[in-house]
Amino acid sequence: MISNFNFYLPTKAYFGKGQIAEISMAIPKNARILLTYGGGSIKKNGVFEQVQNALKEHFYIEFGGIEANPEYETLMKAVKLAREEKLDFILAVGGGSVLDGSKFIAAAVPFEGEPWDIPYKKAPILTALPIGCVMTLPATGSEMNHRAVVSRRATKDKVSLYSDLIRPQFAVLDPTTTFSLPARQTSNGVVDAFVHTLEQYATYPVNGKIQDRFAEGVLLTLLEDGPVLLDNPTDYDARANVMWAATQGLNDILSVGVPGDWSSHAIGHELTAVYDLDHAQTLAIIVPALFTHQIEGKREKLTQLARRVFYYQGDDTQAAEFAIQQIRIFFERMGLKTHFSAMGIDDSQFSLVLQKLAEHRPRFIGERQDIDQAAVKRILYMAL
Ligand code: NZQ
Ligand code: ZN
């Protein structure tokens, strides 16, 4: 049975070519803006110039240098700046890391106490600065969701914060801003969005027909248009479809009323913290192993996936195995590795991965909460 749910999605999307100009109307004219960005891609691909033009009548201060897997120490410099300059609106321009980092800044600026407690101890967020964004990397869905993931390299922590108060008020989604993405980031984005959809779909059936069929639409779109982008990075339609697919992949529309897994993400975050692997690369390694380990609990939905998304025609006994095989083939087609060994990683640090996972997730994980430490260890070895 579908669980009860409340659904409210207040982020306004400005989708399409030239839509960055809209931020001039979307942000109040009297706002004091913190304009956040990453390592400089926006200054090379024309995005920054468009943002500058749109903000001609606004006051803003720039803060660049937010890293991939945004670093707490860097973000705290922005918090200090925002407090000193009494900034009251954040415009994040970049990928998921810039946006997630900006969500943390938005919560940390008015926070009384140690801001690290927000992600690490899940200290409640009572208020936050408003955020808008120009999303330049379709992947995380961060542009329309209420979560963020921040890292602290010194202690090998990668942890999440959640609050409706950090959901962006608006998201500019101009597919042409993604033409400049390196192939690795395009692939990462497609795989991340694919796995978000699986985390909400490949669980157990509750007869959520809309959620299932929306999810299948997202998966089919990524399967079709992801590879197109490897051959033709400036295909507008493919960029547009992948961009909207990534947004829908993690903006709650697929998750309401149905079970969620999220164990690949839980393990994946520890792998990024320990090995410095790209987020999507961790998922490509873990998902095939985890789904194989959990195959009986997921069999019905994997069978549905095999038939509806991978057009499997055989009998039911091998359908789930077929779906997992096709997932692996797709990740590899997108250029990601699906084994640790292919990344030159052995088992010598698995104990640290398990230790950090236990620190961050003291309870069992998975849609049935049936994955314990011993199971995670088996999954890590299956992924070698
Ligand atoms: O920093 P710049 O110079 O902008 O370059 C970035 C970065 O090097 C580059 N890039 C972004 N847009 C570009 C571009 N290069 C050329 N042209 C463009 N249009 O891409 C590199 C990677 O960017 P990043 O933001 O790190 O990637 P992504 O969007 O995949 O974000 C990954 C982060 O998001 C978290 C991940 O854990 C990771 O920390 N996630 C956030 C989620 C959420 N908020 O809901 C959910 C996800 O599961 C994920 O955990
Ligand atoms: Zn993800």
How far, in Å, from the CA of 206 to the mean position of ligand 1?
33
- Residue boundaries of the structural domains of the chain: 12-177, 183-383
Q: What distance in Å separates the CA atoms of residue 53 and residue 36, rounded to the nearest whole number?
A: 16
243 lines ligand 1 (CB under 6 A): no
pLDDT confidence band for 272 (50 / 70 / 90): very high
**pLDDT at residue 292, as a whole number:** 98
Question: For ligand 1, atom 42, which residue shows the shortest CA distance?
Answer: 140
Which pair of tokens denotes residue 326? 């096709």
Residue matched to tokens 């792998």: 271
Ligand nearest to the CA of 278: 1
Q: Which of 279, 282, 286, 336 to mutate to test the pocket of ligand 1 (most atoms within 8 A of CB)?
A: 279
Q: What distance in Å separates the CA atoms of residue 107 and residue 122, rounded to the nearest whole number?
A: 12
How far, in Å, from the CA of 298 to the mean position of ligand 1?
30
Q: What distance in Å separates the CA atoms of residue 261 and residue 283, rounded to the nearest whole number?
A: 13
How far, in Å, from the CA of 68 to the mean position of ligand 1?
6
Q: What percent of the chain has pLDDT over 90?
A: 99
Q: Read off the pLDDT of residues 203-251 as tens digits, 9 standing for 90 and up.
A: 999 999 999 999 999 999 999 999 999 999 999 999 999 999 999 999 9
pLDDT confidence band for 84 (50 / 70 / 90): very high
pLDDT confidence band for 39 (50 / 70 / 90): very high
58 lines ligand 1 (CB under 6 A): no
Which ligand 1 atom sits closest to the C-alpha of 178?
19
| 3-state secondary structure string across the chain | CCCCCCCCCCCEEEECCCHHHHHHHHCCCCCEEEEECCCCHHHHCCHHHHHHHHCCCCEEEEECCCCCCCEHHHHHHHHHHHHHCCCCEEEEEECHHHHHHHHHHHHHCCCCCCCCHHHHCCCCCCCCCCEEEEECCCCCCHHHCCEEEEEEHHHCEEEEEECHHHCCCEEEECHHHHCCCCHHHHHHHHHHHHHHHHHHHCCCCCCCHHHHHHHHHHHHHHHHHHHHHHHCCCCHHHHHHHHHHHHHHCCCCCCCCCCCCCHHHHHHHHHHHHHCCCHHHHHHHHHHHHHHHCHHHHHHHHHHHHHHCCCCCCCHHHHHHHHHHHHHHHHHHCCCCCCCHHHCCCHHHHHHHHHHHHHHCCCCECCCCCECHHHHHHHHHHCC
Please compute the mean of the pLDDT values over residues 315-338 and round it to a whole number.
Answer: 98
Q: Read off the pLDDT of residues 134-192 as tens digits, 9 standing for 90 and up.
A: 999 999 999 999 999 999 999 999 999 999 999 999 999 999 999 999 999 999 999 99
Q: Which of 45, 105, 137, 286 to mutate to test the pocket of ligand 1 (most atoms within 8 A of CB)?
A: 137
Q: Read off the pLDDT of residues 289-315 as tens digits, 9 standing for 90 and up.
A: 999 999 999 999 999 999 999 999 999
Top-level class of domain 183-383? mainly alpha
User: Length of the chain, please?
Assistant: 384
97 lines ligand 1 (CB under 6 A): yes
Q: Is the pTM of this model over 0.95?
A: yes
What CATH topology corresponds to 12-177? Rossmann fold (3.40.50)
186 lines ligand 1 (CB under 6 A): no
Which ligand 1 atom sits closest to the C-alpha of 138?
29
**pLDDT at residue 236, as a whole number:** 98
Residue 155: CB atoms within 10 A of its CB come to 12
How far, in Å, from the CA of 340 to the mean position of ligand 1?
22
Q: Read off the pLDDT of residues 104-121 as tens digits, 9 standing for 90 and up.
A: 999 999 999 999 999 999
Question: For ligand 1, atom 15, which residue shows the shortest CA distance?
Answer: 181
180 lines ligand 1 (CB under 6 A): yes
100 lines ligand 1 (CB under 6 A): yes
Q: Read off the pLDDT of residues 223-235 as tens digits, 9 standing for 90 and up.
A: 999 999 999 999 9
How far, in Å, from the CA of 299 to the mean position of ligand 1?
32
Which ligand 1 atom sits closest to the C-alpha of 189?
30
Residues 6+ apart with CB under 8 A from 251: 9, 11, 141, 144, 145
| Residue 362, pLDDT above cutoff 90 | no
51 lines ligand 1 (CB under 6 A): no
Which ligand 1 atom sits closest to the C-alpha of 151?
39
Average pLDDT, rounded, for the chain? 98
How far, in Å, from the CA of 376 to the mean position of ligand 1?
26
Reference 74, options 10, 180, 150; nearest CA is 150
40 lines ligand 1 (CB under 6 A): yes
212 lines ligand 1 (CB under 6 A): no
How far, in Å, from the CA of 36 to the mean position of ligand 1?
13
| Residue 363, pLDDT above cutoff 90 | no
Which pair of tokens denotes residue 51? 């943002």
Q: What percent of the chain has pLDDT over 70?
A: 100
266 lines ligand 1 (CB under 6 A): no
Ligand nearest to the CA of 283: 2
